[in-house]
Amino acid sequence: MTTKSLLFYKQPVMLDKVKHKDLKLKKISGYDYAKDVNSVPVSGLEFFNCSRNFPVMFVKNNSEEYIPIAVLSLKTQGHSLGDTWENVYVPSFVRRYPFVLEANQGMVMIDAEAPQLQEEEGEALFQEDGEPTQFLREIMAFLDNCDKSYKLTEAYTKALKEKELLEPFKGVIKFADASLKLDHLHVINEQKMYEALSDADVVEWFKKGWLAWSHAHLHSISAMSELVKRLPKKESTPDPA
């Protein structure tokens, strides 16, 4: 697991049918656990849903690989969505908490400090015989789908890197007394994309959904205005370079 994949998890541990046999999940509304982040990773399958509310950009990790993220805020820490995130798309990265799949073995992990997990009340995770309940099986299926979508997205971002289609974002946000450059974020160069892709590439990217993802990403850049609307009134609008 990488630090980025465990943003909200204070004490990640493997879910154990013996140790956690009486554990339950109590439904708690809201996403208070995500209040301190200004972006979260997203899969290509989520680009369209994200594009209505958040710019989908690319950032480099420590291995110099690109990761697509939904930019939630222009703040250095946190966002202005409150706990309920009303009227915006909530990425699966946020919705899956307090569960996550361990990357190598595909085992379910939990945040042992999550208030949603308790023994007093909620939906049981295990049956008397130690087998997962239907409720936990549905969670596991959701986690598996998330994991598969992230792996498909890894192949997509590797292709973008190989084709050298990503470049620093040139937008600038002007404040009352300063400007904020966002060149740590990367975007696809649309013109270069079609120049670099052969006819065979275009067909392949179309079949894999990568062309659609690319256009959804490009469309999402206009959602930068949504982030500006959430800034304090004294701060002005973006001035794209």
- What is the Cα gyration radius of the chain? 20
The answer to whether residue 130 is domain-embedded is: yes
The answer to whether residue 237 is domain-embedded is: no
Find the domain containing 212 and state its range.
4-229
Average pLDDT over residues 5-22: 90
Say yes or no to pLDDT of 228 above 90: no
Backbone φ and ψ for 41, nearest 5 degrees, come out as -65, 150
For residue range 151-199, list pLDDT tens digits in order. 999 999 999 999 999 999 987 777 666 667 787 999 999 999 999 999 9
User: Model's pTM, two decimal places?
Assistant: 0.88
The answer to whether residue 241 is domain-embedded is: no
- What is the band of 139 on the pLDDT scale with cuts at 50, 70, 90? very high
> What dihedral angle (degrees, nearest 10) is formed by the CA atoms of 225, 228, 229, 234?
-140
The answer to whether residue 240 is domain-embedded is: no
For residue range 100-124, list pLDDT tens digits in order. 998 777 799 999 999 999 999 999 9
The answer to whether residue 161 is domain-embedded is: yes
| CA distance between the termini of the chain | 37
Q: How many domains does the chain have?
A: 1
